[in-house]
């Protein structure tokens, strides 16, 4: 089951909310969330629900053992075992086929390539398990004594299949004590509706535009053969916008749902395209993933703070690999790592001295090219993309490219405008003026209703509703 779906929005969620708010005590509300979360996951992953529960059990007991033995050799042993199990599960289900394919590139080697179904959300709940056990070992949080409560943390459906990566310490108190205020309900439903609108109205339309420009993996990137320079740049920008609205839309839904249930998840996107450096971009894009690698991998003992570039490229190798079992994702990660290393060498002060126009131009070119790398999992298609990008494709433009450009120009312009903090600035101006706050609230209600109705109509009438996170 996914968020941007009629079944979820108009059946599952209302039923869950009805049972949840009927319960008088927090522990009973927790039981409702656990039950509905397990049903949510089992709807599409019946067999792998057992994997989710097994993974939660292993890390629940690991947390208690690590808290008890963190200062001795037993603690190191238990930590190693928990990490091996967590990373091992991820390796088997996500990377075993990729590993076998690359081993078969060795002359004379021909081992069977396993065809393993990837459990939805395995990267998200595995990283939450890893962050929990490491925090217990480092004494950053107390181990949870109730498996039921720990299972709630791991399985909570708002963030289970598409993030953000929520750390146990951030919601530990709210598992036991929380309440939902009217402000929580208002903010939560608004955020939920905005997230659905981002996904259904904008992201799905952008996906159609991207496929028109580039084709897709399922058709062998059919449109890539006649790609022009304008088409390559236009398509790459559309890809960047598509991923942003899709991923940030799901994050908005998760944060909004969490708020409705009384949980306060951290922000995962903060207008990343306003950045003036690639370092800043990654401080604003998928914040929960970036902070995870920063806090748990950047300063691993094999590198240390004195050898920060080794740690930096390890982080970006893993960042790329986390996004998918394909070399283009690894190249994509190292590509960003290279620019962040260069910016580190230049220094933060000098980067800030760049003229604003030059800074924006530099970052947007790097970002757009990066998302082109991300999109093409086939190296032949990726090579065609780069040839067209730098003027060695089918000319600068042609009638087909011009047709696609004009067909999606208003969507393109609207999407770019929506990446800017315009609404945020308007809101801040209105809420600081008591006489205008009521007007802003009324307009907000009307806008929410319009967005929800539009999204519902599009969901009912559309067959294009891709779920990006199958590989995560």
Question: 401-410: long-range contacts (C-beta < 8 A, 24 or more apart)?
Answer: 401/228, 401/230, 401/231, 401/234, 402/230, 404/209, 404/212, 404/213, 404/231, 404/234, 405/230, 405/231, 405/234, 407/209, 407/212, 408/205, 408/209, 408/212, 408/238
- What count of other Cβ atoms lies within 10 Å of the Cβ of residue 204? 22
CA distance to 286, 364, 412, per residue, from 207 (Å): 20, 20, 12
Q: Which residues contact 264 (CB under 8 A, 6 or more apart)?
A: 170, 171, 174, 258
Cβ contact 26:176 at 8 Å: yes
User: Using CA atoms, how far apart are residues 60 and 85, in angstroms rounded to an integer?
Assistant: 13
User: Using CA atoms, how far apart are residues 423 and 443, in angstroms rounded to an integer?
Assistant: 12
Q: Which of 69, 286, 323, 360 is catalytic?
A: 323
In terms of phi and psi (left: phi > 0; alpha: psi -120 to 50; beta: otherwise), the region of 14 is alpha
Q: Which residues contact 425 (CB under 8 A, 6 or more apart)?
A: none
- 360 catalytic, yes or no? no
User: Using CA atoms, how far apart are residues 447 and 190, in angstroms rounded to an integer?
Assistant: 10
Q: Which residues contact 447 (CB under 8 A, 6 or more apart)?
A: none
Q: Determine which helix (DSSP H) or strand (DSSP E) holds 251, and give its type and residue range.
A: helix 229-260
Provide the 8-state DSSP code for 267: P
**End-to-end distance of the chain based on CA atoms, in angstroms?**
15
Q: Which residues contact 92 (CB under 8 A, 6 or more apart)?
A: 116
Which string of b and e fits 364-400 if b means at least 16 CB within 10 Å? eebbbbbbbbbbbbeeebbebbbbbbeeebbeeeeeb
Structure-block tokens of residue 419: 């990446």
* Active site residues per annotation: 323
């Amino acid at each position: 089951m996914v968020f941007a779906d009629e079944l979820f929005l108009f059946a599952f969620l209302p039923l869950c909310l009805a049972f949840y708010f009927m319960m008088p005590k927090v522990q009973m509300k927790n039981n409702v969330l656990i039950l509905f979360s397990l049903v949510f996951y089992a709807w599409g992953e019946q067999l792998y629900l057992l994997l989710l529960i097994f993974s939660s059990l292993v890390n629940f007991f690991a947390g208690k053992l690590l808290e008890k033995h963190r200062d001795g050799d037993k603690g190191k042993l238990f930590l190693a075992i928990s990490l091996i199990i967590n990373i091992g599960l991820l390796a088997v289900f996500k990377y075993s086929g990729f590993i076998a394919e690359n081993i078969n590139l060795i002359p004379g080697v021909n081992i069977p390539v396993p065809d393993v179904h990837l459990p939805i959300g395995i990267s998200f709940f595995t990283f939450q398990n890893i962050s929990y056990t490491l925090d217990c070992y480092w004494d950053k949080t107390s181990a949870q004594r109730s498996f039921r409560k720990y299972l709630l943390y791991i399985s909570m459906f708002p963030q289970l299949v598409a993030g953000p990566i929520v750390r146990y310490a951030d919601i530990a108190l709210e598992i036991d004590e929380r309440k939902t205020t009217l402000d929580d309900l208002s903010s939560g439903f608004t955020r939920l509706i905005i997230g659905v609108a981002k996904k259904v109205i904008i992201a799905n339309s952008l996906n159609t535009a991207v496929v028109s420009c580039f084709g897709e993996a399922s058709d062998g990137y059919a449109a890539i053969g006649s790609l022009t320079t304008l088409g390559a740049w236009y398509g790459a920008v559309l890809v960047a916008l598509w991923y942003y609205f899709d991923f940030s839309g799901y994050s908005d839904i998760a944060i909004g749902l969490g708020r409705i249930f009384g949980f306060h998840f951290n922000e995962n996107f903060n207008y990343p395209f306003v950045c003036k450096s690639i370092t800043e971009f990654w401080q604003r894009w998928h914040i929960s993933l970036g902070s995870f690698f920063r806090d748990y991998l950047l300063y691993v003992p094999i590198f240390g703070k004195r050898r920060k570039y080794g740690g930096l490229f390890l982080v970006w190798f893993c960042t790329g690999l986390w996004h998918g079992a394909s070399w283009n994702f690894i190249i994509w990660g190292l590509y960003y790592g290279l620019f962040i290393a260069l910016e580190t060498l230049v220094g933060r002060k000098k980067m800030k001295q760049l003229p604003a126009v030059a800074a924006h131009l530099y970052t947007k070119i790097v970002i757009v090219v990066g998302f082109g790398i991300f999109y093409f999992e086939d190296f032949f298609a990726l090579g065609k993309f780069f040839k067209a990008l730098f003027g060695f494709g089918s000319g600068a433009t042609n009638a087909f490219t011009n047709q696609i450009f004009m067909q999606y120009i208003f969507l393109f312009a609207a999407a770019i405008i929506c990446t800017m903090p315009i609404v945020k600035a308007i809101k801040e101006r209105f809420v600081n003026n008591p006489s205008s706050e009521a007007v802003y609230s009324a307009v907000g209600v009307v806008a929410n209703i319009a967005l929800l109705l539009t999204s519902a109509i599009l969901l009912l009438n559309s067959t294009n509703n891709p779920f990006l996170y199958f590989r995560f």
